[in-house]
Amino acid sequence: MADLKLITPIEYLKGVGPQKGEVLRKELQIFTLGDLLQHYPFRYIDRTQFHKIGQLTSELPAAQILGRLVQLKESGEKRSKRLIGVFKDDTGSMELVWFQSISWVRKGLKVGSPYIIYGKPTVFNGIFSITHPEMELYQPQAKKTGNLSLQPVYSSTEKLKKFNLDSKGIQRLQQAALAACFSSLEEPLPDYILRDFGLMGFADALLNVHFPQTAKLAHAARQRLKFEELFFIQLRLLRNKQLNTQKYAGHRLRHVGEKFNDFYHNRLPFPLTNAQKRVIREIRSDCNTGAQMNRLVQGDVGSGKTVVALMSMLLAIDNGYQACMMAPTEILASQHYQSVAELLGENRCRIQLLTGSTSSKERKLIHAALENGTLDILIGTHALIEDKVKFKNIGLVVIDEQHRFGVEQRAKLWRKNAIPPHMLVMTATPIPRTLAMTMYGDLDISLIDELPAGRKPIKTVHFFENQRLRVFGFMREEIAKGRQIYIVYPLIKESEKMDLLHLEAGLESLAQEFPLPQYKISIVHGQMPVKDKDFEMQRFIKGETQIMVATTVIEVGVNVPNASVMIIENAERFGLSQLHQLRGRVGRGAEQSYCILISGNKLSKDGRTRLETMVRTHDGFEIAEVDLQLRGPGDLSGTQQSGILDMKIADLARDQQLLAQAREQVIAVFHEDPNLEMEKNRPLARFLENQGGPVISWDKIS
């Protein structure tokens, strides 16, 4: 049996044994032959492309050079100690530099021998050098015995290298593993899918990913393995989704009733955008299937998610259920409460706010009203999930800014009823499509991809620190027009004290430029007690202060329509999605709004790209896409907890098209053969049987 070979523990492979087995498990999480074969090369050295030392430029991303190591010397003391090698070819001389594992590196090198080296050349005082180069003894005779022109390079660690498991050593193991398994490898993808997509077979792909004869074959092998990886992730996700709809009954919200209609016809102060209408339709039809809804609503800041949430809650109420809405902070919860109460006006819904600062007397009344059904809508913070909060009949739960909540917190809401309530999760952090398809591939996704009409685009500009006086002048003009202004300072956990100093220094110069009594300033930062924060926020919301100086605590959801200027200090230190969220705090009223990004004079390449992107576009999805390209999927906000993004070969930033194809194919498979009973889909049915548990815990959303 092929599968048995692949699950053979790694120490039984020829050339491994217990000791190396232990290191492979610890360092690379390689437990079996299959794991080893999935430790793919991250690069290939092209043995046909060499540089001469005399032709090096510092723009080269990397260079491969054939030369001779003529000298090794150590310089510096203790922590600044380093090993320097002098490396020569017939056009010149350069340096190789090591800062780490010096004695070990030194032991492995032979002065006077020819080497092929590889790395990024940099230049200092006219001398080129490569730090920690990849090195390999040059063996001219190896070429004649049909050496590969593409040499795979595997990631390894210092520890593995001590066991002779550098890239070369791993390559030897790959050869042994392939020899052991090759003849019995079974194709995991159905034939017809291979045919339709023109994919290389599994065994060939493994061979060519590790030992490619040509670049073309390496590419074809990688494409196939990427497709397979993405395909099976989607297969599990969509299978989950299918099972969940079958497993969990949901309340049927059949009809649109008095409260919904009253709101829609008599209260709604603006026409809904087409996107809002579409999403409400999607929610309505979802809530009437007899299955529980699990829907993610993605909409950029200001796209009008609140009203969509409200109308969904009214739908639940019209059908005899209660609804609740949970927000991550007290400020947000009370803003939601206020705007929902305002929108509802004379509509006869009974609504309440429950947060950490609700008095215990009030709290008791709310608990009682929830249980006897005299309360329709409860809005609040984490306080909603306390065990004491019991609903008579909760039909719909809305979670705002879902990524701020932990898994367990969401799960608790889900369990507040025998029949789980419909779940509507809203996020204002746009996620690129590829990420959404993977992270939330088992949810239904609605997009509000349209801003309400008549919004003036926010003017965004980038200034350097030394242009601050101009910014002060502009601030005075805006305040004179009656506008309000945010100034945000970065807050990075490791140096909270430093950042506070920043904020305080900024505040001091502000206080001089904008003196009392003419100007009033609110301050909000993360280290203040909640009460003080709220107090300061409220002063700003009521227009008693003109300037709000804050750290990023105001990032999420705060709505002050009269605030028309967002100034971000040290803007280069913020991530793109954070900048976008912050900018979304302005542009909420009728006036022209501005976002001013202030940065230091020295910018990194990524920092520059981020600021340029902000100036160029307002489209949250476009911004998220740039963010994905810059940082990779694992670092985007909201994705940290998603182990599903740890892929072996596919890359969500680069392989978007493959992902879309894989997902479409899986959808087509389930459409034609929902239970995977057809003969041609047997490999897929078997895969799911062997996989057992779901790819992501269902609790992720609930």
- Considering only residues 452 through 471, tell me which ones interact with ligand ADP, judged by CB under 6 A: 452
Q: Is the peptide bond before 430 cis (omega within 30 degrees of 0)?
A: no
- Which of 192-197's residues contact partners 24+ apart within 8 Å by CB, and which partners? 192/680, 193/231, 193/665, 196/665, 197/227, 197/661, 197/665
What single DSSP character describes residue 357? T
Tokens 């034609």 found at: 672
Residue 557 in contact with Mg ion, rule: CB under 5 A = yes
Applying CB under 5 A, the span of 404-412, 467-475, 554-562, 671-679 interacting with Mg ion comes to 554-562
Residue 479 in contact with ligand ADP, rule: CB under 6 A = no
Applying CB under 6 A, the span of 265-273, 350-358, 530-538, 693-701 interacting with ligand ADP comes to 265-273
Q: Choose the contact partner of 116 out of ligand ADP, Mg ion, none; CB within 5 to 8 A by kind.
A: none
Burial of 259 (0-12, 13-18, 19+ CB in 10 A): buried
- Name the residue nearer to Mg ion (CB basis): 44 or 621: 621
Distance, in Å, from the CA atom of 567 to the CA atom of 565, rounded to the nearest integer, reads 6
- Name the residue nearer to ligand ADP (CB basis): 396 or 669: 396
- Name the residue nearer to Mg ion (CB basis): 552 or 681: 552
Q: Choose the contact partner of 276 out of Mg ion, ligand ADP, none; CB within 5 to 8 A by kind.
A: ligand ADP
Distance, in Å, from the CA atom of 476 to the CA atom of 546, rounded to the nearest integer, reads 10
Q: Based on C-alpha coordinates, what's the Rg of the chain?
A: 30
Residue 681 makes CB contacts below 8 A (sequence gap 6+) with 190, 669, 673
> Torsion angle of alpha carbons 557, 559, 564, 568, nearest 10°?
-30
Q: How far is the CB of 150 from ligand ADP (least distance, A)?
A: 50
Tokens 């600021």 found at: 611
- Name the residue nearer to Mg ion (CB basis): 328 or 557: 557
- Name the residue nearer to ligand ADP (CB basis): 222 or 588: 588
- Considering only residues 80 through 99, tell me which ones interact with ligand ADP, judged by CB under 6 A: none
Applying CB under 6 A, the span of 81-89, 303-311, 430-438, 596-604 interacting with ligand ADP comes to 303-311
Options 167, 223, 276, 292; binder of ligand ADP; rule CB under 6 A: 276
- Name the residue nearer to ligand ADP (CB basis): 303 or 434: 303
Q: Which residue is nearest to ligand ADP (CB)?
A: 304
How would you label 630-667 residue by residue, b for 16+ Cβ within 10 Å and e otherwise? bbebeebbbbeebebbebebbebbebbebbebbbebbe
Residue 221 C-beta-side C-alpha neighbours within 13 Å: 19
Contact 649, 219 (CB under 8 A): no
Neighbour count for residue 22 (Cβ, 10 Å):
14
Residue 578 in contact with ligand ADP, rule: CB under 6 A = no
- Name the residue nearer to Mg ion (CB basis): 237 or 424: 424
Strands (E) in 339-435, as ranges, are 351-354, 377-380, 394-400, 422-427
Residue 306 in contact with ligand ADP, rule: CB under 6 A = yes
Neighbour count for residue 697 (Cβ, 10 Å):
12
Secondary element (H or E) of residue 486? strand 484-488
Q: Choose the contact partner of 272 out of ligand ADP, Mg ion, none; CB within 5 to 8 A by kind.
A: ligand ADP
Residue 305 in contact with ligand ADP, rule: CB under 6 A = yes
The runs of H, that is alpha helices, within 345-406 are: 360-372
In total, the chain counts a number of residues equal to 702
Secondary element (H or E) of residue 439? helix 433-439
Q: Helix (H, G, I), strand (E, B), or coil: what is residue 562?
A: coil
- Name the residue nearer to ligand ADP (CB basis): 222 or 618: 618
Residue 428 in contact with ligand ADP, rule: CB under 6 A = yes
Q: Choose the contact partner of 427 out of ligand ADP, Mg ion, none; CB within 5 to 8 A by kind.
A: none
Residue 299 in contact with ligand ADP, rule: CB under 6 A = yes
Residue 307 in contact with ligand ADP, rule: CB under 6 A = yes
What phi, psi does 485 have (nearest 5°)?
Answer: -135, 135
Q: Choose the contact partner of 298 out of ligand ADP, Mg ion, none; CB within 5 to 8 A by kind.
A: none
Q: Choose the contact partner of 432 out of Mg ion, ligand ADP, none; CB within 5 to 8 A by kind.
A: none
Q: How far is the CB of 301 from Mg ion (least distance, A)?
A: 7
Residue 430 in contact with Mg ion, rule: CB under 5 A = no
Residue 336 in contact with ligand ADP, rule: CB under 6 A = no
Distance, in Å, from the CA atom of 636 to the CA atom of 579, rounded to the nearest integer, reads 13
Residue 272 in contact with ligand ADP, rule: CB under 6 A = yes
Q: How far is the CB of 304 from ligand ADP (least distance, A)?
A: 3
Query: What is the arrangement of strands in the sheet containing 394-400, beginning at the earlier edge strand?
Result: 351-354, 377-380, 322-326, 394-400, 422-427, 294-299, 444-448
Residue 303 in contact with ligand ADP, rule: CB under 6 A = yes
- Considering only residues 523 through 562, tell me which ones interact with ligand ADP, judged by CB under 6 A: 559
Q: How far is the CB of 522 from ligand ADP (least distance, A)?
A: 21
Applying CB under 6 A, the span of 20-28, 268-276, 456-464, 647-655 interacting with ligand ADP comes to 268-276
> How big is the site for ligand ADP, counted in residues (CB under 6 A)?
16
Residue 42 in contact with ligand ADP, rule: CB under 6 A = no
Structure tokens that stand for 177 in this block: 């593993």
- Name the residue nearer to Mg ion (CB basis): 245 or 339: 339
Q: How far is the CB of 559 from ligand ADP (least distance, A)?
A: 5
Q: Which residue is nearest to Mg ion (CB)?
A: 557
Structure tokens that stand for 84 in this block: 């320097």
Phi-psi region of 126 (alpha: psi -120 to 50; beta: other; left: phi over 0): left
Q: How far is the CB of 448 from ligand ADP (least distance, A)?
A: 7
Structure tokens that stand for 602 in this block: 């020295």
Applying CB under 6 A, the span of 97-105, 115-123, 159-167, 298-306 interacting with ligand ADP comes to 298-306
- Name the residue nearer to Mg ion (CB basis): 326 or 645: 326
- Name the residue nearer to Mg ion (CB basis): 133 or 557: 557
- Which residues of the shown chain bind Mg ion in the complex (CB under 5 A)? 557
- Which residues of the shown chain bind ligand ADP in the complex (CB under 6 A)? 270, 272-273, 276, 299, 301-307, 428, 452, 559, 588
